[in-house]
Amino acid sequence: MFNSLSDRLTATFKNLKGKGRLTEADVDATVREIRRALLDADVAVPVVREFTAAVKERALGLEVSEALNPGQQVVKIVNEELQNILGGQTRRIRMAKTGPTIIMLAGLQGAGKTTLAGKLGKWLKGQGHRPLLVASDLQRPNAVTQLQVVGERAGVPVYAPHPGTTSEFDDPTGDPVQVARDGVAQARARLHDVVIVDTAGRLGIDEALMAQARDIRDAVQPDEVLFVIDAMVGQDAVNTAQAFNEGVDFTGVVLSKLDGDARGGAALSVASVTGKPIMFASTGENVDDFEQFHPDRMASRILDMGDVLTLIEQAEKQWDRAEAEKMARKFTDQEDFTFEDFLVQMQQLRKMGSMKKMLMMMPGAAGMREQLENFDEREIDRVEAIVRSMTPHERVAPKIINGSRRARIAKGSGVTVSEVNQLMERFAQAQKMMKRLAQGKGVPGMPAGIP
């Protein structure tokens, strides 16, 4: 998402590199390029206008800075203004002071509400809450069963007293407002501290849908009404957001399907157009493909300055501290680095999620996008299969892996002998590098002390 916008903006800044001072013509040209990039990315026209006016005014009034050259200063301005249109500060869920916190989800059918219910539930559970999901979408075929499946994946209970429809030809029965109300009562009785109410969407905005959403809202008095918008829908996103803003007066936005490669600019306009903050981002179909939305980090990501904080958080979430400490001892005690360690490292990396997604958050990732796109996740599976085909003894004493053992390993893991040879070579290099690190010599080509 935002790839082409990101490419265009970084290309614009390249033109400013090395300029000692910026003339008015430089600023004009830059702002024009930025405007085009934003419009091409589907950012709504009024938002573009406001954005470029702010950038221009600030760029023209630039003071000479000792620390930053003019090009860098412009990047800084664009970064800050981008952060502004994305809502400024990170906005967290407002928890109820007494009783359960009630979060209602609203949005069009297919926006990703049901999926989000599971993601949000799991995320909150990870923070020590006891969420309950409530199935108030009785309209979309199988929405109730889907919520139950999602709840199971997330390890979060689901309140679903009514089965909902199973085919688009069924007339919806049951009262979604009553289900929502009962769901909240159930949460109170069972001491859940968060209730997430999934509601029905339609393919397009209609008054009946809006009225139902309003009825549910009025019945349960949610602490948060989250409007879920599919970031791939383009310009329509802004109109839909405005309609829901007037219809249910939501309190926050969730951008879903940010993993897609649509232009996405319309989604970027939603916060600015509605004046409501973007609170979360959904980035895939799995229950973990979800993150809190930080305007500052997203701005950096778009400007290819990387999002190292999110990267570290993802890593911390999944990283097994005991294993990490064991690995650290390998550095200091100069123990031998074995294939067993190699396997552990690989599993740790895999736990962090898709390698591609992780690497894309590195600063400068845009420059390597093509290589990253070609990165084959299955490569990791192959390497793991090879290591798993080794005997325990071979894993700790790789020197004994001779020709016939390599042939056996290749057969066992379904790869060619030359692939086994390649891995052995790479492993030998990694081992050498670990040794150098342990001896405090640093990695070749880099100063000692910086691995």
Annotated binding site: 107-114, 198-202, 256-259
Q: Which is nearer to ligand GDP, 76 or 162 (CB)?
A: 162
Q: Which is nearer to ligand GDP, 137 or 419 (CB)?
A: 137
Angle between helices 45-60 and 24-40 (to 10 degrees): 160
Q: How far apart are the first and last CA of the chain?
A: 31
Cross-strand pairs, 194: 101, 131
Name the binding residues for GTP.
107-114, 198-202, 256-259
Which part of the chain contacts ligand GDP (CB under 6 A), choosing from 87-95, 213-221, 284-292, 314-322? 284-292
By C-alpha distance, which of 262, 259, 274 is closest to 107?
A: 274
Give the type of residue at 169: F
Q: What is the total count of residues that contact ligand GDP (CB under 6 A)?
A: 20
The pairs formed by 341-350 with CB atoms below 8 angstroms and a separation of 24 or more are: 342/387, 342/427, 342/430, 343/384, 343/387, 343/388, 343/395, 346/380, 346/383, 346/384, 346/387, 347/384, 348/318, 348/319, 348/320, 348/323, 348/324, 349/380, 350/380
What DSSP line would sit under 232-290, residue for residue? Answer: GGTTHHHHHHHHHHHHH--SEEEEE-TTS-S--HHHHHHHHHH---EEEEE-SSSTT-E
CB of 137 to ligand GDP, least distance (A): 7
Name the helix (H) or strand (E) containing 133: strand 131-136
CB of 284 to ligand GDP, least distance (A): 5
Q: How many CA atoms lie within 13 A of 52 on its CB side?
A: 20
CB of 49 to ligand GDP, least distance (A): 30
Please calculate the CA angle 17-18-22 and round it to the nearest 5 degrees. 80
Angle between helices 207-220 and 176-189 (to 10 degrees): 20
Q: Which is nearer to ligand GDP, 110 or 412 (CB)?
A: 110
Residues 294-353 touching ligand GDP, rule: CB under 6 A, are none
Tell me which of 70, 183, 201, 252 binds ligand GDP, using CB under 6 A. 201
Q: Which is nearer to ligand GDP, 280 or 427 (CB)?
A: 280
CB of 230 to ligand GDP, least distance (A): 8
Tell me which of 73, 282, 314, 338 binds ligand GDP, using CB under 6 A. 282
CB of 157 to ligand GDP, least distance (A): 18
CB of 66 to ligand GDP, least distance (A): 44
Question: Residue 431 and residue 388: Cα distance in Å, rounded?
Answer: 18
Name the helix (H) or strand (E) containing 185: helix 176-189
CB of 53 to ligand GDP, least distance (A): 33
Q: Which is nearer to ligand GDP, 114 or 240 (CB)?
A: 114
CB of 159 to ligand GDP, least distance (A): 16
Name the helix (H) or strand (E) containing 189: helix 176-189
DSSP state of 397: -
Q: Which is nearer to ligand GDP, 108 or 423 (CB)?
A: 108
Q: Which is nearer to ligand GDP, 153 or 436 (CB)?
A: 153
Site string for ligand GDP, 107-146 (x = CB under 6 A): x-xxxxxxx------------------------x-----x
Site string for ligand GDP, 229-268 (x = CB under 6 A): ---------------------------xx-xx--------
Determine if 284 is a binding residue for ligand GDP (CB under 6 A): yes
Residues that bind ligand GDP (CB under 6 A): 107, 109-115, 140, 146, 201, 256-257, 259-260, 282-285, 289
